[in-house]
Amino acid sequence: MLIEGPVDMVLDDGSHVCSDRFLVAVCMCKRSKIYPLCDTSHRRRKPTQ
């Protein structure tokens, strides 16, 4: 999900995630290594030939 920044998110555990970018990608699939921000882990990888 893309949202206009800057953003300051409060997670369930009380920690904060901040981004000062003008557009922020938030992970909706929970596969991201930098969750709650998206790192495009949801995309399928092409097999190596």
24 within 8 A of 3, measured Cβ to Cβ:
yes
Q: pLDDT, tens digit, for every residue of 17-43?
A: 999 999 999 999 888 998 899 998 887
Q: Name every residue whose Cβ is closer than 8 Å to that of residue 14 and which is 6 or more positions away in sequence.
A: none
pLDDT number for residue 18: 93
Quote the CA–CA distance of 29 and 47 in Å, as a whole number.
Answer: 22
What's the pLDDT score for residue 40? 87
Query: How many residues in total does the chain contain?
Result: 49
Q: Is a pLDDT exceeding 70 seen at residue 48?
A: no
Q: Quick check: 14 pLDDT over 90?
A: yes
What pLDDT, on a 0 to 100 scale, did the predictor assign at position 20?
A: 94
pLDDT of res. 47: 62
Find out whether 26 and 37 touch, Cβ atoms under 8 Å. yes
**Phi/psi class of residue 48: alpha, beta or left (left: φ > 0; alpha: ψ in -120 to 50)?**
beta
pTM for the whole thing? 0.71
